[in-house]
């Protein structure tokens, strides 16, 4: 696989509205999307756009959300993952698996409507890495 652009940084928060206020009022964020639920991934999502990337604010949907456990350990929230784009997610999964990295589950549709997958943080120096298939032109 070849590492593509940094698509977003995932930030877990107990409150998307409170986090949005910080990015808007403290940092001057001007392009903030509407929050939306992603039930299949057990998260509520809101994107804060920066000129060259995005912050993906994440609230847990339900006690079994992957964010819930993170927030138990980090009640105020915090940096959760980084997401890079790849041209071909299946090829990336095969490559990573062949290299011995733990790919978590099968690719599934993420918040941008394209296939995403995660690599276990223990195989990436303590960083939870998400890979997202680059949206096809015009999609």
Ligand X SMILES: CC[C@H](C(=O)O)C(=O)SCCNC(=O)CCNC(=O)[C@H](O)C(C)(C)COP(=O)(O)OP(=O)(O)OC[C@H]1O[C@@H](n2cnc3c(N)ncnc32)[C@H](O)[C@@H]1OP(=O)(O)O
Catalytic residue at 56? no
List the catalytic residue out of 56, 130, 133, 137.
130
Closest CA to 59 of 110, 18, 8: 18
DSSP readout, 20-68?
Answer: HHIIIIIT---EEPPPEEEGGGTEEEEEEEETTEEEEEEEESSTTSHHH
H helix or E strand, kind and range, residue 80: strand 78-86
**CA separation, residue 93 to residues 11, 58, 72, 90 (Å):** 24, 24, 30, 5
Residue closer to ligand X (CB basis): 24 or 69: 69
By CB under 6 A, tell whether 133 contacts ligand X.
no
Binding mask 86-105 for ligand X (x = CB under 6 A): ------------------x-
Q: How many whole angstroms separate alpha carbon 98 and alpha carbon 18?
A: 42
Binding site partner of 38, from ligand X, Co ion, none, Cβ cut-off 5-8 A by kind: ligand X
By CB under 6 A, tell whether 115 contacts ligand X.
no
Among 70, 89, 96, 103, binds ligand X (CB under 6 A): 70
By CB under 6 A, tell whether 83 contacts ligand X.
yes
Stretch that binds ligand X, among 22-30, 47-55, 84-92, 111-119 (CB under 6 A): 111-119
| CB 63 to Co ion: min, Å | 20
List the catalytic residues. 130
């Amino acid at each position: 696989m070849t590492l593509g652009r940094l698509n977003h940084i995932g930030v877990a928060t107990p409150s998307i509205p409170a986090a949005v206020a910080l990015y808007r009022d403290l940092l001057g964020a001007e392009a903030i999307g509407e929050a939306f639920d992603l039930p299949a991934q057990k998260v509520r999502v809101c994107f804060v756009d920066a000129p060259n990337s995005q912050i993906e604010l994440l609230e847990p949907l339900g006690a079994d959300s992957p964010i819930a456990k993170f927030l138990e350990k980090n009640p105020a929230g915090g940096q959760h993952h980084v997401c890079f784009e790849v041209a071909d997610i299946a090829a990336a999964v095969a490559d990573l698996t062949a290299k011995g990295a733990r790919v978590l589950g099968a690719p599934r549709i993420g918040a941008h409507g394209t296939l995403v997958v995660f690599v276990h943080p223990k195989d990436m120096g303590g960083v939870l890495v998400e890979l997202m298939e680059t949206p096809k032109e015009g999609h």
